[in-house]
């Protein structure tokens, strides 16, 4: 038997944004373990704002397993937090969301690298670099530097080595700002892999003395620099296979009806980012538009050209959002529309499209 280093990873009880936590359990197995073989494990919830010191036991339940490419015989174990009686802890957002494996998600995680309390590449004496323009998908030291490029390339390799469905990286519109994309089939799988990808980036940055700033508007609301989002691309079986403009319009009507419920789980301080400027719609307005990056929901040209079939992009979630809550809320809203009952439930949509 060999000993494996199992990194149990979970979300703590801090609000409004949970932090990632992790600790290593060493267990002997004949070979790389399966998820079902992993034991429950306890931790001190009083140190993570998940329990009182007089009754501090919390339980980690493994829910996703990946090889850890940075360790020999290592594994990354995403966990839910349970109470001692086995019920989900109040901070356990994963246990509370609906799960539909036929609903697919692609998350676009934007973030800033920070060093010495400023974005990586900003002038060391304060102030700002050259205005936005050449940074997005930029190349060259003056646009992206060397350290950031090295980190994002290593992060990409770590994610691929862990078996995460990482789909790409690019420099973003601000200096020191980057993005990576994670795709998954089903709300829980997509969100599990996003949290693991975030964990790997944070752990990697320890080596370089660089921090990751996930805040949606770290430079402040008044500066003329884009914030950070976590745009959520989504589709369900009906959107991919049946589609149709009538169904699309009924979905948009449903999203508008519960727009405030979405904003509640789309990340804190979103009012600083969703201003109607910098490729956003105002936080108090819902809109959709074809290829419109200033809309709440961007509709790709390919979606329309394919008979209103495919995926849509919700541009409102921000970079600190919990992908469990975001995916869960989108599934709930999609579930408000029954395609088979469209003529009864959405006569207005039918009238608008003839």
Please say if the pLDDT value at position 354 is more than 80. Answer: no
Average pLDDT on 169-180 reads 96
Average pLDDT on 5-14 reads 98
Please, which pLDDT band fits residue 344 given cuts at 50, 70 and 90?
Answer: very low
Please say if the pLDDT value at position 324 is more than 70. Answer: yes
| 78 & 110 share domain | no
Burial 275-296 (b: 16+ CB within 10 A, else e): eeebbbbebeebebeeeeeebb
| 260 & 336 share domain | yes
Token look-up 């989900």 returns 88
Please say if the pLDDT value at position 312 is more than 70. Answer: yes
| 266 & 347 share domain | yes
Please, which pLDDT band fits residue 352 given cuts at 50, 70 and 90?
Answer: very low
Does residue 171 belong to any structural domain of this protein?
Answer: yes
Output the pLDDT for position 198: 98
Average pLDDT on 158-182 reads 97
Average pLDDT on 200-223 reads 94
Please say if the pLDDT value at position 86 is more than 50. Answer: yes
The answer to whether 164 touches 197, Cβ cutoff 8 Å, is yes
Please, which pLDDT band fits residue 350 given cuts at 50, 70 and 90?
Answer: very low
Average pLDDT on 117-129 reads 88
Please, which pLDDT band fits residue 13 given cuts at 50, 70 and 90?
Answer: very high
Structure tokens at 157: 């390799």
Q: What is the pLDDT of residues 271-298, one digit of tens each?
A: 999 998 878 999 999 999 999 999 999 9
Which range of residues forms the domain containing residue 125? Answer: 104-353
Does residue 95 belong to any structural domain of this protein?
Answer: no
Output the pLDDT for position 17: 95
Four-residue CA torsion sign, 318, 323, 326, 331: positive
Helix segments in the chain, DSSP class H: 141-144, 147-161, 187-208, 237, 245-257, 259-265, 270-273, 301-305, 323-334, 342-345, 347-353
Please, which pLDDT band fits residue 264 given cuts at 50, 70 and 90?
Answer: very high
Q: For residues 210 and 240, what is the distance between their CA atoms, to the nearest angstrom? A: 41
Does residue 221 belong to any structural domain of this protein?
Answer: yes
| 77 & 123 share domain | no
Mean pLDDT over each residue of the chain, to the nearest integer: 93
Does residue 213 belong to any structural domain of this protein?
Answer: yes
Q: How far apart are the first and last CA of the chain?
A: 68
Does residue 266 belong to any structural domain of this protein?
Answer: yes
| 116 & 186 share domain | yes
Q: What is the pLDDT of residues 126-151, one digit of tens each?
A: 889 988 889 999 999 999 988 999 99
Please say if the pLDDT value at position 349 is more than 80. Answer: no
Output the pLDDT for position 278: 79
| 229 & 128 share domain | yes
Q: What is the pLDDT of residues 67-81, one digit of tens each?
A: 999 999 999 999 999
| 24 & 126 share domain | no
CATH number of the structural domain spanning residue 74? 3.10.20.70
| 126 & 160 share domain | yes
| 143 & 233 share domain | yes
| 118 & 9 share domain | no
Does residue 189 belong to any structural domain of this protein?
Answer: yes
Average pLDDT on 51-74 reads 96
Please say if the pLDDT value at position 351 is more than 50. Answer: no
Number of domain units in the chain: 2
Does residue 89 belong to any structural domain of this protein?
Answer: no
Output the pLDDT for position 343: 57
Structure tokens at 79: 């966990």
Does residue 233 belong to any structural domain of this protein?
Answer: yes
């Amino acid at each position: 038997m060999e000993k494996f280093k199992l990194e149990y990873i979970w979300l703590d009880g801090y609000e409004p944004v949970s932090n990632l936590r992790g600790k290593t359990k060493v267990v002997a197995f004949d070979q790389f373990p399966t998820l079902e073989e992993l034991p429950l494990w306890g931790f001190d919830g009083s140190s993570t704002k998940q329990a009182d010191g007089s009754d501090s036991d919390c339980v980690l339940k493994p829910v996703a397993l990946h090889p850890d490419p940075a360790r020999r015989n290592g594994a990354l174990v995403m966990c839910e937090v349970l109470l001692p009686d086995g019920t989900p802890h109040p901070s356990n957002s994963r246990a509370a969301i609906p799960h539909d494996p036929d609903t697919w998600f692609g998350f676009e995680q934007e973030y800033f690298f920070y060093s010495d309390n400023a974005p990586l590449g900003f002038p060391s004496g304060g102030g700002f670099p050259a205005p936005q323009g050449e940074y997005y998908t930029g190349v060259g030291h003056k646009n992206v530097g060397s350290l950031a490029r090295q980190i994002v390339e290593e992060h990409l390799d770590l994610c691929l080595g862990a078996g995460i469905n990482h789909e790409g990286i690019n420099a973003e519109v601000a200096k020191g700002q980057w993005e990576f994309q994670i795709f998954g089939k089903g709300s829980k799988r997509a969100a599990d892999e996003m949290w693991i990808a975030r964990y790997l980036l944070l752990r990697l940055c320890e080596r370089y003395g660089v921090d990751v700033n996930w805040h949606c508007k770290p430079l402040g609301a008044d500066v003329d620099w884009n914030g950070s989002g976590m745009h959520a691309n989504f589709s369900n079986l009906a959107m991919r296979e049946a589609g149709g403009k009538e169904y699309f319009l009924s979905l948009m009507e449903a999203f508008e009806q519960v727009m405030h419920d979405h904003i509640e789980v789309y990340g804190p301080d979103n009012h600083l980012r969703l201003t109607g400027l910098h490729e956003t719609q105002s936080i108090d307005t819902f809109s959709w538009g074809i290829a419109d990056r200033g809309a709440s929901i961007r509709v790709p040209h390919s979606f329309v050209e394919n008979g209103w079939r495919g995926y849509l992009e919700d541009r409102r979630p921000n970079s600190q959002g919990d992908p469990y809550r975001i995916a869960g809320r989108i599934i709930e809203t999609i579930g408000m529309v029954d395609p088979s009952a469209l003529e009864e439930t959405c006569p207005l949509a039918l009238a608008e499209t003839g």
